[in-house]
Structure 1
Amino acid sequence: MKKKIKTWLIHLLGGVTVSESQEHYKSICYNSAYISLTIIKEYAEALYGKPADEWCKLMYEEICKHLGSLTDGTDEERPTRK
């Protein structure tokens, strides 16, 4: 009963509980991973038919470009299919 009152009071004041915050964080991480993997998959599919060495080189460069944009703080748009 005490926990319900505490949660009610937190919500009344516009806050969230620790467990609610953790669930939200898990959801954000899952969505971010899904988007990242989808972008990489689409680029890999766009390279279909390229020789293996060229495919590997281009995929590596694309992954490095996206990692660089995260560390540099630049927000690059989603790559388009070629």
Structure 2
Amino acid sequence: MMFNQSKAWAAVLLAAVFVAGGAAGWGIAAWRDPRGHRGGPDAMVNYLDDHLRLSAAQKDSVRAVLARHRPEMEALWREV
């Protein structure tokens, strides 16, 4: 009987450590980036500008495209 009880306690301890690790990871990620998984249109424009060196007109075009397709993007984010 003690052997089975030991296994049960080991399983409970393992599950508790797993949950605590997940919670700690989530907390650290939320603390490091309080915006969540996305930063909005400006974050996308800044990302593209960093990699592509966009002109002011190109940045405006990207913002227009993002604004035009915002409902579709929001729907996708809700599914993810």
Superposition TM-score, scaled by structure 2 size: 0.36
Q: TM-score, normalised by structure 1?
A: 0.36
By relative contact order (CA 8 Å, sep 6+), the higher-ranking structure is 1
